[in-house]
Amino acid sequence: MSEVLVVVEATREFGVKKVTLEMLTLARGLGTPSAVVLGGPGAAEALSAKLGEYGAAKIYAAESAEIDGHLVSPKATVLAELVTRVQPAAVLLASAQEGKEIAARLAVKLDNGILTDVVGLDADGTATQVVFAGSTIVKSKVTRGLPLVTVRPNSITPEPAAATPAVEQLTVSVSAADKLARVVNRVAEQKGSRPELTEASVVVSGGRGVGTADNFKLVEELADLLGGAVGASRAAVDSGYYPHQFQVGQTGKTVSPQLYIALGISGAIQHRAGMQTSKTIVAVNKDGEAPIFELADFGVVGDLFKVVPQTAEEIRKRR
């Protein structure tokens, strides 16, 4: 079977990200997955067990301080060389900022088509995308070159398939042009132990109705009880209640969790764009006419400052 390259997304703290496991699962529908680790020295070793668990038959490791110290470009150069050498059946990357950027450079280097925000991929390379704020489903295909696709997190359920991957170290030789954008510092900001927004099975979001930054504790408390991530509407972010990286919507993150709980969010199209493909939607809002209720599987018209504490209390009671 032909080889399918999956570019690994991982964090220093939590290791292999769920979207990587989803990509490995998708890749098995097209051929034999090979994981590609692009990172600093020693990056691959900590990840190989997990990658094998989900079917990576091979791991290509490109590990270098040059990759770690520069933005995106060296990764694309290494990947382009690998693609040219092994001629894979497809290349899969995560549909997040960096994955899209590596794919962008790869597309130009190889003069190859690119499809982003893919939620499904057939054996013949036909991709499914959901566009226009989740209102339209598109089937599309790369018509020049190989299927180069970025996969939206939480699109499919990862399925294990044990393999024992052989690790092949890649030589990293990057050009001067690859070293133009230098990463001089990485700063971690608040997140704690919560799952990442785009990967979480449960997302609890707060909107303008939450009222203050301090009141977001209520949103966080419910998220923690359900093992979920915290999100915020644009109105809440613009009001300074919660940081921008947690914004769900048209100009923020797109999430597709099993359960989405909207607290004090009216449900403007800007917000719906980022969450309406969630499996189950629950809303609490004091305005019974709020458009969020048109999407909600279960809605409570009421004061979130009464409903949410009672919800939290009731969940604790049932434990």
Q: Which of residues 192-211 bind another protein (CB under 8 A)?
A: 196-197, 202
For residue 110, the one-letter residue type is L
- Shortest Cβ distance from residue 164 to another protein (Å)? 30
| Cβ atoms of residues 94 and 7 within 8 Å | yes
**87 touching another protein, by CB under 8 A:** no
| Cβ atoms of residues 274 and 255 within 8 Å | yes
**122 touching another protein, by CB under 8 A:** no
| Selected range binding another protein among 29-37, 47-55, 209-217, 299-307, rule: CB under 8 A | 299-307
- Shortest Cβ distance from residue 109 to another protein (Å)? 7
| Selected range binding another protein among 25-33, 55-63, 82-90, 177-185, rule: CB under 8 A | 177-185
- Shortest Cβ distance from residue 36 to another protein (Å)? 18
Residue with Cβ nearer another protein (119 or 163): 119
Which residues make Cβ contacts (< 8 Å) with residue 153, sequence separation at least 6? 17, 18, 19, 22, 94, 95, 96, 198, 199, 256
Touching another protein, residues 135-164 (CB under 8 A): 135-145
**309 touching another protein, by CB under 8 A:** yes
Which residues make Cβ contacts (< 8 Å) with residue 38, sequence separation at least 6? 7, 8, 62, 67, 75, 78, 79, 102
**78 touching another protein, by CB under 8 A:** no
- Shortest Cβ distance from residue 58 to another protein (Å)? 27
Q: Which one of 49, 183, 217, 287 is in contact with another protein (CB under 8 A)? A: 183
| Cβ atoms of residues 154 and 199 within 8 Å | yes
What is the rounded CA–CA span in Å between residue 119 and residue 141?
13
What is the rounded CA–CA span in Å between residue 205 and residue 219?
7
Touching another protein, residues 242-271 (CB under 8 A): 244-245, 250-251, 258-259, 268-270
The β-bridge relationship of strands 127-131 and 115-121 is antiparallel
- Shortest Cβ distance from residue 198 to another protein (Å)? 8
Touching another protein, residues 15-44 (CB under 8 A): none
- Shortest Cβ distance from residue 163 to another protein (Å)? 28
Residue 261 CA from chain centroid, whole number: 19
